[in-house]
Structure 1
Amino acid sequence: MSRGLRIRLHHFNIEKVTHNPGIYRAAAVLLAGLLAQAAHGQVCTEWKDAVHIGDLQLQLEEASGVAVSRKFPNRLYHVNDSGDAGTFYVTNMQGRETRPVSITGFKPRDTEAISLGGCGNGKSCLFIGDVGDNQRRRETAEIVIVEELEQFPASVSPIARMKLRYPDGPHDAESLAVHPDGTIYILTKEQPARLFKAKSHSSSQVLTPVMTLDAGGRPTDMAISDDGTRLLVLTYLDAVEFGIDFQHPEPLRYRQTIHVRFLQQQEGVAYLPGSRSFVYTTERLVFPAWIMRVDCGGN
């Protein structure tokens, strides 16, 4: 609990409170609110300037998603935008040592996002989202799940595939993230955006609406903190960090805009381990495709 939220219990007459049910209930509600604020309000309020730490190679000229390994240090995962043939890429933190890995049987229409999360038995997996739909015509979106390996072969088979439908018709999306509890979230590329979740890793299901979220622009990627209490959303102009209780997500009370260095087509964001820093990436258009790092400077 932060310093400003500490409660000095000796200021209360506990005996009197416990003999007055009304006061007791009010105190309990107040305490619960303060605890929730402490747990879900710790967004970083002061971010340092973005630092250029690397460059994506030519194979990733349409980079549209990034994930940071927790299992293997100094490793990033990437996907390209539409037109790529069911492949993800492994690089180091500087964007070098690029290795493509093809996914057997995966023929995406518009791959836009990649995230890491648990997938049972203590395993870590890549969740690759074929979720783009610029014309809003697709009946289903698809996520393929690939186990994270220390050494990837040239091609891998997914351990699961998920066909997803929106309850209200097609949406375009570029943002996918996996909560520490295993729940998969998709954020639509609208303003305001709509957050949906998948109830499980079942092969076919209708997504569940969660909330409407205004990030100040159209979301191009998102990430969830390691402790599951913060949501980071990237747009074409800025990033926004939200303090959020995913079990009771509305209303959102904690929001911090992060004025990142503008890149030409920034479409990938991921927290670094500890979730007090993040990286973001861009497609390669006229200029090189930079990898940028942003660190929290304090609360």
Structure 2
Amino acid sequence: MTRRARTPARAGWSTGLLAVLVVPAVVPAPASAVLPGTARAAAPDVVCRVRDERLTEISGMVATDSGFVVVNDGADEASRRRIFFLDTRCAVVRSVTYPSRPRDTEDLAVGADGTVWVADIGDNDRVRSTVALWRLAPGSRRPVLHRLSYPDGPHDAEALLVGRDGRPVVVTKQGGEAGVYVPTGPPRAGATVPMRRAGQVRLPATTTANPYSFFGRRLVTGGATAPDGRRVVLRTYADAFEFDVTDGDVVAALTGGTPRVVPLPDEPQGESVSYSRDGRWLFTVSESAGQPAGTRPTVLRYALPGGAASPVPSPSVAAPAASAPAAGSPPAGSSSAPAPDAVDAGRRRADAGGVRSLLLGVGVIVAGLLLVASVGAARARRTGR
């Protein structure tokens, strides 16, 4: 995704604005507000900060036994168009280049055998005749390209899920009901495999504060599968929604299940989500591009409601440092509970987010009134009244 299209403006913002002008205004509640079935927002643990200058637009992340794997979205600089392997302190230990230029890499997934799948599925302008998955097998130095096509025209998408059966599931980025698509056959190198629409997922409404107000709570920006395959999660700019998977059927979970909601309040540009290797936590990371100078992408850790399912051992997808602690463990010298100053900072972020959402809502309403007034004045001039 190019920098000119990093906000939801190119994902239907104008349509949403028209909707705001014709429905009663609803002032978003602060992040501390809780809907039925929604976990109370809690300050996350800070795991580590990504200081490599090539990583400012992180759009996808998976946790590994030895750290993380991340990708930027579509980048102009070749040095940023890579698959980056990080240790548990978020330092880059190696990177893998693509054999050809990817278009818009938006998410990552890891299979049961340790294969890393890169979702090259972004399409802000909806002009791509095909999208792609890059497959990086364990120990490989070169990802392999697999092309896919939609049955009903182009879609913008940022979420990829891969179940225990290895079947990729793509969830589109659109307000309201997001489309769920699966390949009609196994992805094949050098060929384009058609997808079919397997259903749709409608996320429950929340009031979680985020930079994009209502729109940020409706757009799916990432996904992940738990290591045991029994749960999957979709995220928006505001929240994470965790679904239980029965008999490995990810599509049924998304299209017919009721998710648990984990608020992710006030993440600046939240697009990435991953389970920890033990399945007990969610990791997220936001982009730093467009943020205040000196801001670095920060990996955060959120507790999941209801504990964890039993983890299933799987091959490590990266082993840069055998002595490094597992990514699901807190950094050395830290505890699993947030420090008091982190809690205070989280509360301050939630309060500030509520104020920003309120101001944004007021601003949109004022803009709408001004637009209506200007249209009325123009009509009056044309009719001479």
Change (3 A) 1:172 1:184: same
2:279 to 275, 280, 297: 275
TM-score (norm 1): 0.74
Q: Distance in 2 between matches of 1:292 and 1:137?
A: 34
- Counterpart for residue 353 of structure 2: none
Q: Distance in 2 between matches of 1:115 and 1:173?
A: 14
- Counterpart for residue 294 of structure 1: 302
Q: Distance in 1 between matches of 2:62 and 2:195?
A: 23
**Stretch moving more, 53-62 or 167-176:** 53-62
Q: Does the 8 Å contact 1:46/1:298 carry over to 2?
A: no
Q: Distance in 2 between matches of 1:165 and 1:130?
A: 12
Q: What is the CA-CA distance between 1:145 and the residue it aligns to?
A: 0.6
Secondary structure at the counterpart of residue 268 of structure 1: strand
| Offset from partner CA, 1:43-101 (integer Å, 9 cap, x none) | 996886421111112221010000112xxx22200000112544110111331245332
What one-letter code is carried by the residue in structure 2 that aligns with 1:176?
L
Which structure shows the bigger proportion of residues in strand conformation?
1
Q: Distance in 2 between matches of 1:259 and 1:82?
A: 27
**Stretch moving more, 262-271 or 223-232:** 223-232
- Counterpart for residue 146 of structure 1: 136
TM-score (norm 2): 0.59
Q: Does the 8 Å contact 1:47/1:295 carry over to 2?
A: no
1:77 matched to 2:77? The reply is no
**Stretch moving more, 263-272 or 49-58:** 49-58
Change (3 A) 1:247 1:284: closer
- Counterpart for residue 242 of structure 1: 243
1:196 matched to 2:181? The reply is yes
Q: Does the 8 Å contact 1:112/1:175 carry over to 2?
A: yes
1:63 matched to 2:48? The reply is no
What one-letter code is carried by the residue in structure 1 that aligns with 2:44?
A
- Counterpart for residue 207 of structure 1: 195
| Offset from partner CA, 1:108-130 (integer Å, 9 cap, x none) | 11111111114xxxx42111111
- Counterpart for residue 229 of structure 2: 228
The 5 A counterparts of 1:82-231 are 82-83=74-75, 85=78, 86-103=81-98, 105-118=99-112, 123-149=113-139, 156-158=141-143, 160-191=144-175, 192-198=177-183, 199-203=185-189, 204-215=192-203, 216-231=217-232
Change (3 A) 1:62 1:236: same
Q: Distance in 2 between matches of 1:283 and 1:97?
A: 16
Greater relative contact order: 1 or 2 (C-alpha under 8 angstroms, separation 6 or more)?
Answer: 2
In structure 1, stretches of 5+ residues that fail to align are 1-42
Q: Distance in 2 between matches of 1:50 and 1:262?
A: 12
Percent sequence identity is 25
| Offset from partner CA, 1:225-252 (integer Å, 9 cap, x none) | 2232322011111111122442671652
1:51 matched to 2:45? The reply is yes
Instruction: Report the count of equivalent residues.
Output: 243
Q: Distance in 2 between matches of 1:60 and 1:219?
A: 22
Secondary structure at the counterpart of residue 60 of structure 1: coil
Q: Does the 8 Å contact 1:210/1:249 carry over to 2?
A: no
Question: RMSD of the alignment, in Å?
Answer: 2.3
Which structure shows the bigger proportion of residues in helix conformation?
2
Q: Distance in 2 between matches of 1:277 and 1:247?
A: 20
Change (3 A) 1:132 1:296: same
Q: Does the 8 Å contact 2:38/2:261 carry over to 1?
A: no
Q: Does the 8 Å contact 2:178/2:220 carry over to 1?
A: yes
Q: Distance in 2 between matches of 1:46 and 1:274?
A: 23
Q: Does the 8 Å contact 2:233/2:241 carry over to 1?
A: yes
Structure 1 stretches (4+) deviating beyond 6 angstroms?
43-47
Q: Distance in 1 between matches of 2:91 and 2:264?
A: 23
Change (3 A) 1:210 1:148: same
